[in-house]
Structure 1
Amino acid sequence: MKAGLRHLRFVTPMGPLLAFADSAGLCGLYFEDQKDCPSSGQSNADDADPILRQTRDQILDYFAGRLGAFSVPLSPAVTPFQQRVRDALLKVPAAHTTTYGALARSIDSPRGFRAVAQALARNPIIIIVPCHRVLASDGSLGGFSAGLARKPALLAHEVQHWPRTES
């Protein structure tokens, strides 16, 4: 994590989340029990920070079924490849899914599905950067850094609140 971060812990229906921000935006959002969740000991708790409050409010609105797309400014420390994957993934709307291969093709890396999977495994902003919407090519869940049980629960939540309409 970057130096000089602020954090906020808040509770959601799927467990407590830790949000980390710098002056430019949200740097990290992790379930507290997530294996790669950084320690909050290296940042300052700040429940008045506008980015952290916006993150909390939007995540709680998401879980209440009132918000399917986020507008929190993002500022994660990621590689250019991870940035391309993130930008493509942010185009996948709530209640929709894609595959690792389709995501790789969308960023002009048609054989890069493994690299895409690795980039998603390192996604520092859970839910808002919706890696839970990415499935294996056979339709199976694939992995999920926040715990595989949460992935279908997040997808079911989205289908319940933002049902897909076929055109």
Structure 2
Amino acid sequence: MMTVHIKTPLGPARIRGDENGIASVSALNTEDITYDEVIPEVLEDCAYQLREYFEGKRQEFDLKLNPEGSDFQKRVWDELLKIPYGKTTSYLELSKKLGDVKAIRAVAGANGKNPLWVIVPCHRVIGSDGSMTGYGAGIWRKKWLLEHESPYKQQSLF
């Protein structure tokens, strides 16, 4: 498994993967990182596409993914991939799409274990009341990502 650390507007991120695909992308809660100058070939496209996303030049990722998880978690993550850029859904709606409204807690748990930060857009899932519910990378990152994707940009008053 190859690893690379890259800079993002939300702090450092770690990409892990191999010839079978990208296994994980994680936001790191430290600035004490040595960024890699050379990106392993199997991770280059992921790093490039993430850079394009953060620059506002990419709305969808085209990568071979290989996350580790249970069959249920993978079903949830596949459903997350269907949430369009700039849109949100609720945990309840996600549960309904998966065919079991009573599975809302399990869906939320699988959402929270998503190993592919940004690429599998778990940040697009919010509470039924529109609230910013838990987010492993930090609510401040979730808000930033949703604002970044919003078609309605905040205008400066000055």
Residue identity matched to 2:144: A
CA deviation after TM superposition for structure 1 residue 82, in Å:
0.6
Check if 1:88 corresponds to 2:79: yes
Separation in 1, partners of 2:49, 2:139:
23
Please give the secondary structure, in 1, of the residue aligned with 2:128: coil
Distance 1:122 1:88 in 2: 14
Gaps of 5+ in 2: 31-35, 154-158
Alpha-carbon deviation of 1:79? 0.5
Work out whether residues 26 and 115 of structure 2, in 8 Å CA contact, stay in contact via their aligned partners in 1.
yes
What SS is found at the alignment partner of 1:19?
strand
Matched, 1:56 2:52: no
C-alpha distance after superposition, 1:48-85 (max 9, x if no partner): 43331111100110010000000111001111001110
Secondary structure of the residue aligned to 1:142 is coil
Task: Please report the RMSD computed on the Cα atoms of aligned residues, expressed in angstroms.
Answer: 1.8
Q: Aligned ranges for residues 73-152 of structure 1 at < 5 Å? A: 73-152=64-143
Contact 1:25 1:73 in 2 (8 A): yes
Q: Measured at CA, do residues 58 and 160 of structure 1 come closer, stay the same or move farther in structure 2, by a change above 3 Å?
A: same
Count of aligned pairs: 148
Identity of aligned residues (%): 36
- Closer, same or farther: CA 22–103 of 1 in aligned 2, 3 Å: same
Q: TM-score, normalized by length of structure 2? A: 0.88
User: What is residue 18 of structure 1 aligned with on the other side?
Assistant: 14
List structure 1 runs of 4+ shifted beyond 2 angstroms: 45-51
Unaligned regions of 5+ residues in structure 1, if any? 35-44, 163-167
Indicate how the Cα distance of structure 1 residues 161 and 76 shifts in structure 2: closer, same or farther if over 3 A, else same. Answer: farther
CA offset at residue 131 of structure 1?
0.4
The secondary structure found in structure 1 opposite 2:150 is helix
Distance 2:125 2:137 in 1: 14
